[in-house]
A and B are shown apart, each in its own frame.
Chain A
Amino acid sequence: MKTSTRKVLDKSFTLTSYASLALMCLVIVLFLAPIIVNGIGAVVFRATVEHDKFLYETLGRESSGYREELEKSNAARKPLYEMMAHFEKSDNYGHLVEKINAARAQCLSKLESEADIIFAALDIEDSRERLEKVRAIADAAWSPYINEISALADDSLHNGGTLSAAEILKKQSNSLPGAAKLALNSLYEKKKLSFQQKSMLRRNFTSFPMSALAQNLEKLEQANAAYNSFKKGVAELLGPSTAAEKEKLNLLRQKYGQPRENLARDVFEQSVLHISVAEKDAEGRDVVRKVESAEYFKGTPVEEMISYMQKNMPQMMQYHWTVYLGFFFDNPYDSNIFGGIWPMILGTFYLTVGAMLIAAPLGVIAAIYFSEYAKPGRLVSLLRMCVGTLAGVPSIVFGLFGLSFLINTLRVSESKSVLAGAITLALLILPTIIKASEEALKSVPNSFREAALGLGAGKWKSIYSVILPSALPGMLTGIIISMGRAAGETAPIIFTAATSTGAALAVWEVFTQATPALPWNIYNMCSEHEMADKVQHVQYGMVLTLIAIVLTLNMVAILIRAKIQKKLKN
């Protein structure tokens, strides 16, 4: 080959390898960077006063400056709550009730006083003319009343108080049929009427005001529903407004507002600045539509509340940076919406260490057998093949095996337990440990064996005193790396050890109890959690913790190997 061609080939090869390395780094950065950033966000983040409130009230830990924060936020929230209380006050329109009742009484008495005109109308021959006449009379009779209630509804829609207005209208629609019936009965007494005539009267003198009432009421209820949606958003954001209200609630997520700034902003945007309104679409079906609350409540006191909140969010929530190390050491509360991931970390620790305690001795012993004792033969190659096959079995199969054999057949525990999971994981990593340990033993130079044997050491003694120590770094590396594998495996523990919620276990409970564990809970929280989008920081935090555990284990393996190798060399 010509020198120039060779140079070009060399160069292009170097270039390709650089490019592939760069690509790998890029992928790692692209993949890891968001995980690291978001994962750290689980611990270091902008908290709100609600976060500190939770810590203080539930865990008894008082963050520095908590009281001051609480005071400030309460002060900032007070005007809002006052506005809301005023809006909801029940006697806003108390003074109008009299007026409406008077109007109604007037209408009914008019009915009696105009009995003759009514009877005359009922006697009209032509049915269309008759109907028009009766309607006109009813219209005239009821219009003051209907004007009165429409005015009330309109007023409340513009000035707030739809709640109390709706109350009044409801009462009206409850009592009106009775009152109207009384009035009609007195009419019937005056003259004997046919069935059709009676029903015509009823339609026009009862149903007519009733439907007017219902129309207004519907408008008001719609407004109330919108307000309630807004109010729910506020409660979600700030938590319950009073201690008494808090008492009534069960879930922690209801007892506290949003603990993190990003969540608070989201909730403010989605549940306060926007509200859900039930409407009927073109085909008459009920649909829920999101509308901008500022638009919807335009011209009402709610608009003022919204603009107040927009201005005073930071004061109401008291955003501040915090470092929540408790994320690693606290129990989760209310489906991980509050608190930390301690049980998952501990569960992963139990499973990993348990698997290692079971697999390492077995694996090392098997490796010693393969490398030092086994004479080549059918049985040994069969055993080797089994180990090789075991290494290739998908991990889900190990999980099923753990369930059907360990739990259902051997009954190592009643149901899922850390023990069953650890055994399953141990079986999973056993082939790796055997292979790594065997390699390590094989790489011990034969001259060490000869030297030991030549000095009169027995076989076991030579293995124990010379070969094992020399093979130790390699073995440890294999063991620790497979610990990392065990820490991250999900499939085997789904069937044998993992629960989605649960407390941190004490050491003696591992034989009977199932445990949460990082890999399973990551999956669970990302896919099956009822509020997956509210706990994103926990998801990332767990992923980062898991990666950190695995990387740390691998790093320790590398360090141990380097250290022992250095010791051996020097």
Chain B
Amino acid sequence: MMEKNKMKISEKTAFKTDDKDPPKNGKDYVVAARDFSVYYGNFHAVKNANVSFERGKVTAIIGPSGCGKSTFLRCVNRMNDLVDSCRTSGELIFDGINIYHPRLDIVELRRRIGMVFQRPNPFPKSIYDNIAYGPRLAGSIKKSELDGIVETSLRRAALWDEVKDRLNSNALGLSGGQQQRLCIARALAVRPEVLLMDEPCSALDPKSTSRIEDLIDELSGEYTIAIVTHNMQQAARVSHYTAFFYEGSLIEFGKTETLFTSPQKQATNDYITGRFG
């Protein structure tokens, strides 16, 4: 009965932001923030940010610790709803509709915008059940079909060869890097359009990190990816666009090459050259 009140994102007519759409510059933005602010109680954590994620491209978000990167990212699939004190203002548009529309179906939103967290968080279930968790939510599904989804997801996350013989063993028995790739595979199994990654490599060794970077590279094009990272080289390596946040404000946003080679703002320059943060 609740469903009736909920608005499917596909029925976007009601939310159409028409003329207020951000300047597209001929590009196809999947997610776009316009004067988007986030507050924790009275604390203004993200200040009037204007960032867009282009379809099929990788956008990196960088900035010193505590500048609001995670906060912003978590707003994109409304994970910040879990924080009681969290409020937002401004607009965050996904596929033409406002993510914070009161009648939006959050479950569908989250299904279309997947997330990978800083620390790997597999469920204490088998590897198979971890991957199958998302697809099963969508409704009853044939075993053969599910097997297919599990295999493709694991293959895409470059984990298949390592775990194909022990799909039924507990996921917590995997190494940290494997767990993180499992989480990526789990997110992919739902076939989201956007993949949000909050420092996915911060808990991993260089080898696992480079595997995941390769993975991001492979996935781009098909998926729209936003990745938060503290690793400047990583941002430079994997992303097409980079957004630099500082003390809650978006300082600079543009093509990665441009931002890293000729930053427009002094703060950006200081940060990427390692003068602070």
Contacts and interface: CB of A to CB of B under 8 A. Distances in A.
B77 A375 contact: no
Contact of B123 (A446, A466, A569, A570): A466
Interface in B110-168: 110-111, 114-115, 117, 119, 121-125, 133-134, 137-138
A456 B170 contact: no
Contacts of B84: 375-376
Contact of A450 (B121, B124, B138, B173): B121
Contacts of A449: 82
B95 to A, nearest CB: 16
B28 interface: no
Q: Which of B114, B121, B170 has the most CB of A within 10 A?
A: B121
A280 to B, nearest CB: 86
B71 to A, nearest CB: 14
A567 B125 CA distance: 9
Interface string A436-454: 0000000001111111111
Interface stretch (B14-22, B183-191, B225-233, B259-267): B183-191
B124 A469 contact: yes
Nearest to A465: B133
Contact of B79 (A445, A450, A465, A568): A450
A458 B123 contact: no
B219 interface: no
B215 to A, nearest CB: 18
B183 A470 contact: no
Nearest to B122: A451
Nearest to A446: B82
A451 B117 contact: yes
B82 A455 contact: no
A454 B74 CA distance: 10
Contact of A451 (B111, B121, B137): B121
A234 to B, nearest CB: 72
B108 interface: yes
Contacts of A448: 121, 123
A125 B110 CA distance: 139
A568 B172 contact: yes
A456 B111 contact: yes
B121 A456 contact: no
A376 B41 CA distance: 14
B107 interface: yes
Contacts of B173: 570
Given A375-B84, A448-B123, A453 B137 contact: no
Contact of B170 (A446, A453, A570): A570
Given A465-B133, A466-B123, A470-B124, A453 B82 contact: yes
A452 B137 CA distance: 10
Contact of A456 (B119, B124, B190): B190
Contacts of A570: 170, 172-173
A442 to B, nearest CB: 14
A461 B170 CA distance: 21
A193 B215 CA distance: 147
B172 A569 contact: yes
B277 to A, nearest CB: 26
A455 B124 contact: no
Q: Looking at A445, A451, A455, A457, which has the most chain B CB atoms within 10 Å of its CB?
A: A455
A310 B183 CA distance: 85
B107 A458 contact: yes
Nearest to B135: A455
A455 B190 contact: yes
A153 B49 CA distance: 125
Contacts of A466: 123
Interface string A465-485: 110011000000000000000
A450 B80 CA distance: 10
Interface residues of B, number: 28
A470 B170 CA distance: 13
Contacts of B123: 448, 451-452, 466
A569 B169 CA distance: 11
A455 B110 contact: yes
A569 B170 CA distance: 8
Interface string B186-211: 11001000000000000000000000
By CB atoms of chain A within 10 A, which of B114, B137, B170, B172 has the most?
A: B137
B134 A455 contact: yes
A445 B122 CA distance: 11
A457 B115 contact: no
A560 B186 CA distance: 29
B167 to A, nearest CB: 15
Nearest to B119: A447
B114 A450 contact: no
Nearest to A456: B111
Which residue, of A456, A458, A466, has the highest number of chain B Cβ atoms within 10 A?
A456
B79 A452 contact: no
Contacts of B190: 455-456
Contacts of A567: 124, 170
Interface string A552-570: 0000000000000001111
A447 B121 contact: yes
A470 B186 CA distance: 19
Nearest to B114: A454
Given A375-B84, A445-B121, A447-B121, A457 B172 contact: no
Contacts of A470: 124
Interface in B205-245: none
B137 A456 contact: yes
A454 B133 contact: no
A452 B133 contact: yes
Nearest to A445: B121
Contact of A455 (B108, B111, B119, B125): B111
Contact of B137 (A450, A461, A569): A461
Nearest to A376: B84
Contacts of A447: 117, 119, 121
A456 B134 contact: yes
A456 B110 contact: yes
Q: Which of B79, B107, B114, B122 has the most CB of A within 10 A?
A: B107
A429 B107 CA distance: 37
B102 to A, nearest CB: 17
Contacts of A445: 121
Contacts of A469: 124-125
Contact of B124 (A458, A461, A568): A568
Given A445-B121, A451-B183, A569-B172, A457 B107 contact: yes
A455 B133 contact: yes
Interface string B87-118: 00000000000000000000110110011010
Contacts of B137: 455-457, 461
A450 B119 CA distance: 12
Contacts of A569: 172
Given A570-B172, A570-B173, A455 B187 contact: yes
Nearest to B183: A451
Interface of B: 77, 79, 82, 84, 107-108, 110-111, 114-115, 117, 119, 121-125, 133-134, 137-138, 170, 172-173, 183, 186-187, 190
Given A376-B84, A454-B110, 14 more contacts: A445-B121, A450-B82, A451-B117, A453-B82, A454-B77, A454-B117, A455-B187, A455-B190, A456-B107, A456-B134, A457-B107, A457-B137, A568-B172, A569-B172
Top-10 shortest CB links A-B = A456-B111, A447-B121, A455-B134, A454-B115, A568-B124, A451-B121, A456-B110, A456-B107, A457-B137, A458-B107
9 contacts: A375-B84, A448-B123, A450-B79, A453-B79, A454-B110, A456-B137, A567-B124, A568-B172, A570-B173
